[in-house]
Amino acid sequence: MKSHPLSLAQKILRGKNNGEDDRRALIFYEQFKALRAKLEYQVDMKKYKVIAVTSTIAEEGKTFACSNLAANLASVGRKKVLLIDADLRKSDLARYLDISPKPGLTEFLSGSIPLEKIFYRPLEGLYFIPGGGRTSKASDLLAGDKFRSFLNNIRDQFDIVILDTPPILPVADTMSLKDQIDGFVLMFRMRFTPHVMLRQVVEELEKEKIIGVVLNYVEPQKQKYYDRYYGKYYQKISK
C-alpha cells in the first residue's frame, strides 16, 4: 500500500466517505481498532508505558503499522500518545506522517538541538518525534545515557510511548535498547519472513517481553468473504 496511513486515519475520522474505496478503508481501519484494543488491554494490565514496534527483517510493514496504531490510540482520546521514530538508519516514519524528518532524534542525541525543537503534533492527542538525519552510529546513540535519561523522563509526560525501531536481525540497534522497553509488538509478514528467523527473534527478545505478534499481508482466500461479513454493514453506515 502506498497511501500515507495517518492521512487515511484522518480521512476516516472526519467521516469523508466516498464509495468503494472508503468502504474498504473503513474495513482496514477496523483492523487497527481491534489491534489498538488488544494493545490497550495488555498495556493497562501490565502497567507498560514504553512500547516498541519492530520486525525480524526489513519490509514487514512495521512503520506502516506503527503510524496507524499510534493514530488510532490518539483518536480514542483516552491516552496522550508519543510516537518516536527510533529507526535512525532510515527515518521513514516522518514521510508517512507528511512531516520533515529533520531535525529529529539523531540531532537531539548528538547534542546539536534541544528536545523542544523536535516535537510535532500531527493529530489531537498524538505527539511525534522524527528520526532526524540518518546515521551509522544508531546503536551507540540508542544505547547511550542521553537516550536512557530521555525515555525515563518522558514516561511521566505521556500515557503511552510508541517507538518504531529497526528490524532486529540486520542491525543491533533494537537489541541495544531492549532493557529500556517495557514490551514489544512484533510484525510478521506472511509468506515472506522465514519462520526460523522469527523463532530466533522471539528467543532473543524473550517471550515475556513480547506483547504480541501481528500478522501482516494476510489476505482472505476470496474477496467475497469481506463483502459478505463486512461490506454490506459498512455500506449502510456510510450512507
According to DSSP, the β-strands at 160-164 and 50-55 are parallel
pLDDT at 233: 47
Buried-exposed string 110-142: b where 16+ CB fall within 10 A, e elsewhere: eeebeeeebeeebbebbbbbbbbbebeebbebb
Q: Hey, is 182 helix, strand or coil? A: coil
Q: Is the pTM of this model over 0.85?
A: no
Q: Supply 203's cell numbers.
A: 528467543
DSSP assigned state of 209 = G
Cell of 239: 450512507
Question: Which residues make Cβ contacts (< 8 Å) with residue 50, sequence separation at least 6?
Answer: 151, 155, 161, 163, 180, 181, 182
Mean pLDDT, consecutive 10-residue stretches, the chain (239 aa), reads 41 48 67 86 91 94 90 88 94 87 94 93 93 91 94 93 95 92 93 92 90 80 50 45
